[in-house]
Amino acid sequence: MKDERFYWLSFSLFPGIGPLKFKKLLNEFGTAEKAWKAPLDSLKKVIGDITSEKFDNFRKDFSVENYLLKLKKADVWFITSNDPFYPSSLLQIKNPPFVLFGRGLKFDKLKNELERTIAIVGTRKLTNYGREVTEIFTRDLSASGFTIVSGLALGIDSVSHQTALESGGKTIAVLGCGVDCCTPTTNQGLYDKIIKGNGAIISEVPLSYMPSKGLFPSRNRIISGLSLGVLVTEGAEDSGSLITGNLAFSQNRKVFAVPGPITSDFSKGPYKLIEKGAKLVTSAEDILKDLGLKTSDLRLKKSKVIKGETREEGKILTILQNEPLYFDEIVKRSKLDSSKVGSLLSIMEIKGLIKNSGSFYSINN
């Protein structure tokens, strides 16, 4: 090997050395090449006896040339944290991945887009409310020039990736497995759309590694680390999306949460984050303002508020036409189930059709 990058790649493929130990090796030996060629006794002083002995056996049999051919065959690229196009936002987090693997658009093609990224995450078991909210936020944020980051899981993740692509925006999926593996397999079609369109699939995990429970928290730190902020649109109190939200707090990232019907278990996650300090948002404009971005300079699409998009929305608007009303009164006059009214009001508020003044609802004029 002659290229220092190849030594970085080689270290990333040994399972006993992560970002922290690799940093120790660089501090001790100066370069990855010198660390790779270091005597066993010298390595033991830095990463311990057991890891050093396992690594010594690994490097004796490893061929980076063969692995590079494997990457080429799988149409996979890699980038190190020492490369010029490595995301600067990731360098700011604790122990960033020192190597990332990717498919689709390379980071040098996403240079400008990486400066304006936002993660959208949530439950795998989304409701109709969660789907619609995610579509609205993703569409408007994509139209505002944001690259949408998520984890390619079922539910909210999938909706955010799909909507970003349909809106002509860019999206990045961060996996908890090798980038040559699509999990869940039901998302294979979406996976293919991302790598063939305006997106990238990335992971710090080597090729062919299948997902495991321990890999997802590490994956989530990349999702939040890549982003200016994390938006949680729907999730239960124990939702994995709360892990991403909490990681964002620890990384000094903005955390946003969409309020949902108080009768839904999938609203408990966002409300829990709001209790911890997340910003309650009902529109993409709320996010832009909190990030200090001028909405006038962006391509934010405004929702038309002349009439409802469904018969039930029209019914709510008719009820509110002459006066503001309390929630219970809207339920009584509409003759709809209270949980249905709660979902409708939340969706209509996000669309800009109505506004909540704390104790009552009115048409947003």
Q: Hey, what domains does the chain have and what are their CATH numbers?
A: 1-73 (1.10.150), 107-297 (3.40.50.450), 311-363 (1.10.10.10)
Q: Is 169 exposed, middle or buried (0-12, 13-18, 19+ CB in 10 A)?
A: buried
Identify any residues that bridge with 199 across adjacent strands, giving them in sequence order: 171
pLDDT of residue 227: 97
- Contact status, residue 364 vs residue 353, Cβ threshold 8 Å: yes
Cis previous bond, 184, omega within 30: yes
Backbone torsions φ then ψ of 265, nearest 5 degrees: -65, -25
H-state helical runs in the chain: 4-12, 19-29, 32-36, 40-47, 49-61, 64-73, 88-91, 128-143, 156-166, 188-196, 215-225, 241-250, 268-276, 284-290, 311-319, 327-334, 338-351
pLDDT of residue 232: 97
Q: Look at residues 323, 318, 316, 146 and name the one whose alpha carbon lies nearest to residue 229.
A: 146
CA 335 to chain centre: 39
Residue 267 has a CB neighbour count (10 Å cut-off) of 25
The residue type of 349 is E
Task: Name the one residue in this structure whose structure tokens are 């008719």.
Answer: 318
All residue ranges of the chain with pLDDT < 70 are 1-2, 295-306, 365
- What's the full length of the chain, in residues? 365
- The whole-angstrom separation of Cα 233 and Cα 130 is 6
pLDDT of residue 1: 57
Q: Supply 129's token pair.
A: 């409310």
The residue type of 52 is S
Q: Supply 276's token pair.
A: 């911890």
pTM: 0.83
The tens digit of pLDDT for each residue in 203-215 reads: 999 999 988 877 8
Max alpha carbon distance in the chain (Å)?
A: 82
Q: How many helices (H) and strands (E) does the chain have?
A: 17, 11
Q: Supply 347's token pair.
A: 């969706």
Sheet architecture: strand order including 254-257 = 77-80, 99-104, 199-203, 171-174, 147-150, 117-122, 229-234, 254-257, 279-280
Residues whose CB is less than 8 angstroms from the CB of residue 145 and which lie 6 or more positions away in sequence, other chains included: 116, 298, 299
Task: Name the one residue in this structure whose structure tokens are 């149409």.
Answer: 75
pLDDT of residue 2: 66
- Contact status, residue 242 vs residue 273, Cβ threshold 8 Å: yes
- The whole-angstrom separation of Cα 215 and Cα 331 is 45
